[in-house]
Structure 1
Amino acid sequence: MTTLSVPFSTERLLLRRFTPDDLDDLYAYQGLSEVARYLYRPPLTRERCVRSLARRAAGTAWAEDGDDLVFAVCPVGEAKVVGEVVLKLASARAGQVEIGWIFNPAYGGRGYATEAARAITELAFAELDAHRLFARLDVLNTGSARICERLGMRREAHLVENALDDGRWGSEYVYAMLAREWKADRA
């Protein structure tokens, strides 16, 4: 099992565990239909946010398939949560790690998502020994596609009409990067 030093900072952001005090900030974006449309689920109710927050605050190990690390993202010096980033252990044996992010649209256009995603990309490769980092996203989510490209990920797949959500077929991109590519990019 891996133990991480949390919280950690980037130039402008603090990434930390969620606390019960984050409920209003979490619900402010998780309850929005414009956010949920790319997550293949309906917006979260306040009650579901309470349950989600309890699980996030407790944290999980990083040892078995399905374990995840979820970090609240706050501007340095502020207690306000503007979004979250997550790493999910898709295959412990193969070192396959899924990356994701969800941000409050009120804080869009400031580069927070890219900065936070870059930080956990480094965490995945440098500390968690990931072999391959990948992201799955709705093809209509152009903002997330740009973040993947800024991280140096390549588009590996375009899955056509592979998800059915509220009667609408959705298509998905898969972006990925290998540890050796990440290391070469940093050199």
Structure 2
Amino acid sequence: MASLNFPLRTPRLALRPHREADVDWLYRVYSRPDVSRYLLDEPSSLEDAQKRISERIPRDDLDGGHGSLSLVIEREHLPIGDVLLWFTDREHRVAEIGWVLDPDHGGQGFATEAARAVLDLAFSHYRVHRVAAQMDARNAASAKLACMAGMHREAHLRQDWWSKGEWTDTVIFGKLASD
């Protein structure tokens, strides 16, 4: 399979692998309580952000050793979020996608544009059969993004996840290569 050339470009964005210099914006975004509210982790410390960067830097090829792709979303050369794609079943080409966008850049369709680009990449370049997105059911913005990116709501699991001291619901969206 041909290797990817980074950055991947959309009409308004560039998507590229993480690098060490991303730690400051990653910390700034992931330390925000309004960002971490629906994520599995508490707001990040600087140490958490440094660990997250070191884990994400080698994740630059879905078919690589880590079975994942972790890309920074840039707008006019400034990082504004990230989108991740990882195999949940490499043998059968099933993956999951996740995204985080700096709320200061929300409401402009940037996360949707990035998610669509990564979904297109999953199906056209990596020949993935299915991509799922799982999220806290209270995260209406993320659910809307999944729909806008062409994913279909497939399930609502009631109180299936213990997170931050409470039972939460999970909604699952999916997209097939044949959609």
User: What amino acid is the match of 1:56?
Assistant: R
Question: Is 2:20 aligned against 1:20?
Answer: yes
- Counterparts in 2 of 1:2 and 1:42: CA distance versus 1, 3 Å: farther
Question: Is 2:87 aligned against 1:89?
Answer: yes
Return the offset for 1:64: 7.4
1:177 paired residue number: 175
Task: Find the aligned partners of 1:9 and 1:16 in 2 and give their Cα distance.
Answer: 9
1:168 paired residue number: 166
Moved over 6 A (4+): none
Deviations 1:64-106 (A, max 9, x none): 796210000111x32x210000101111111111011011111
Return the offset for 1:60: 5.0
Quote the sequence identity (%). 33
Return the offset for 1:135: 0.3
Report matched runs for 1:25-174 at 5 Å: 25-63=25-63, 67-75=67-75, 77-78=76-77, 80-174=78-172
Contact 2:63 2:126 in 1 (8 A): no
Greater fraction of residues in helix: 1
Deviations 1:91-135 (A, max 9, x none): 111111101101111111111100000100100000010101110
User: What amino acid is the match of 2:7?
Assistant: P
Output the aligned Cα RMSD: 1.7
Task: Find the aligned partners of 1:168 and 1:65 in 2 and give their Cα distance.
Answer: 35
Contact 2:116 2:150 in 1 (8 A): no
- Counterparts in 2 of 1:46 and 1:167: CA distance versus 1, 3 Å: same
Task: Find the aligned partners of 2:141 and 2:164 in 1 and give their Cα distance.
Answer: 22
Task: Find the aligned partners of 1:36 and 1:118 in 2 and give their Cα distance.
Answer: 23
- Counterparts in 2 of 1:2 and 1:90: CA distance versus 1, 3 Å: farther
- Number of matched residues? 179
Task: Find the aligned partners of 1:138 and 1:65 in 2 and give their Cα distance.
Answer: 29
User: What amino acid is the match of 2:6?
Assistant: V
**TM-score normalised according to structure 2 size:** 0.93
Contact 1:2 1:62 in 2 (8 A): no
- Counterparts in 2 of 1:66 and 1:20: CA distance versus 1, 3 Å: closer
Task: Find the aligned partners of 1:15 and 1:126 in 2 and give their Cα distance.
Answer: 16
Secondary structure of 1:129's counterpart equals coil
Secondary structure of 1:156's counterpart equals strand
